[in-house]
Amino acid sequence: MSPSQMQLADTNLTLSAEEPARLELDKVSVAYGQRQALCDISIHIPHGQCVAVVGPNGAGKSTLFKALVGLLPVQSGTILIHGRPLGHHRDCVAYVPPRDEVDWGFPLTVRDVVVMGRYGRRGWLRGPTKTDRKAVDESLELMGITELAERPIGELSGGQQQRVFVARALAQNPHILLMDEPFTGVDAASRESILRVLDQMHRQEVTVLISTHDLNLASSRFEHVLVLNKRVIAYGSPAEVFTPQTLHAAFGGQALMLGDHLVAVDQCCPPERGGMIQ
């Protein structure tokens, strides 16, 4: 099976008009101790939508994703997937964490990492089945890293490592894919490889949320944009969202147009830590 023919088996669901949105958050708040990270987030994301999540450093983008996969407890509010609370779905949501949160020194091969995407279906103690191996091989091929399958993960470039974690998520056959800053520190080839896969997943009606600091990417490659700054600032098409009022509310006035490009300067951090958002 070629990469272009790969089907994510569990994503081709038929939803009637009466069924709830694929992903629903109602007045969701999350805190780290006494520090509020997200406040009263309410948003309904329909089945198959592709959404860029943008906002300044500390806006709660990573917090949102971790709450959606149960890595952080919700202080208040509800999260529903297919109309049911978190925990009622088997391996429905795949999460690609930021590269700086991964221990790349851990002694695993590329194939070992991608096989982890199947654990939710078979458990940690059972060996991979023929179906698991097929899903892993297809995911490796789709990301263009088949020849790296037996390489230690720590020996790869940043772009290759990111492709491996995307392949792990694809092997999971998710209904919802969350990717936290997948384009940070990757080469152009890896960036385009990831974008091609996202286009394919969109055609297969997988719901995709990607956090990014690249406002131009959000504007040009995504049909919907969610602007966060601990609260929902705006949600809609790029044309609806990227207005001077919205950018001022999200970035504190540090957003402007340079020619045809959107630029936001996040003054809370130096440039080497993401202070310049383009």
- What average pLDDT does the segment 242-257 reach? 77
- What average pLDDT does the segment 239-265 reach? 72
- What average pLDDT does the segment 155-173 reach? 91
CA 20, CA 185: separation in Å to the nearest integer? Answer: 37
User: How many Cβ atoms sit within 10 Å of the Cβ of residue 5?
Assistant: 8
Per-residue pLDDT for 14 more than 70? no
Beta strand 84-85 with 50-54 is unpaired
3-state SS assignment for residue 53: strand
- What average pLDDT does the segment 160-165 reach? 91
Strands of the sheet containing 255-258, edge to edge, are: 255-258, 261-265, 276-277
Per-residue pLDDT for 267 more than 80? no
pLDDT of residue 260: 57
User: Tokens representing 251?
Assistant: 């970035």
**Cα pseudo-dihedral 263, 266, 271, 272, rounded to 10:** -120
User: Tokens representing 166?
Assistant: 């995307």
CATH class of 3-12+22-245: alpha beta
Which sign does the torsion angle of CA 227, 200, 146, 149 carry?
Answer: positive
Q: Which residues are CB-contacts of 210 (< 8 A; sequence separation ≥ 6)?
A: 51, 52, 53, 178, 179, 180, 182, 198, 222
- What average pLDDT does the segment 214-228 reach? 92
- Return the percentage of the chain with pLDDT > 90, whole number: 44
Per residue in 167-218, pLDDT tens?
999 999 888 999 999 998 888 888 888 898 888 888 888 999 999 988 989 9
pLDDT of residue 102: 77
pLDDT band, very low/low/confident/very high, at 275 (cuts 50, 70, 90): very low
User: Tokens representing 276?
Assistant: 């310049």
Q: Are 170 and 142 in contact (CB under 8 A)?
A: yes
- What average pLDDT does the segment 43-58 reach? 92
- In this structure, of 9-13, 148-152, 216-220, 225-229, the range with the lowest mean pLDDT score is 9-13
Which pTM does this prediction carry? 0.82
CA 89, CA 78: separation in Å to the nearest integer? Answer: 15
pLDDT band, very low/low/confident/very high, at 43 (cuts 50, 70, 90): very high
Q: Note the helical H segments in the chain.
A: 61-68, 110-115, 119-122, 130-142, 158-171, 188-203, 215-221, 238-241, 244-251
- What average pLDDT does the segment 90-105 reach? 80
pLDDT band, very low/low/confident/very high, at 253 (cuts 50, 70, 90): low
Position with higher pLDDT, 267 vs 277: 267
pLDDT band, very low/low/confident/very high, at 273 (cuts 50, 70, 90): very low
- What average pLDDT does the segment 65-81 reach? 93
Q: Are 128 and 171 in contact (CB under 8 A)?
A: no
3-state SS assignment for residue 278: coil
In the chain, DSSP finds a helix count (H) and a strand count (E) of 9, 13
- What average pLDDT does the segment 1-21 reach? 41
* CA-angle at 221, arms to 172 and 104, nearest 5°: 45
Q: Where exactly are the structural domains of the chain?
A: 3-12+22-245
- What average pLDDT does the segment 259-277 reach? 48
Q: What share of the chain is helix, strand, coil (3-state, %, to 5)?
A: 35, 25, 40
CA 147, CA 12: separation in Å to the nearest integer? Answer: 29
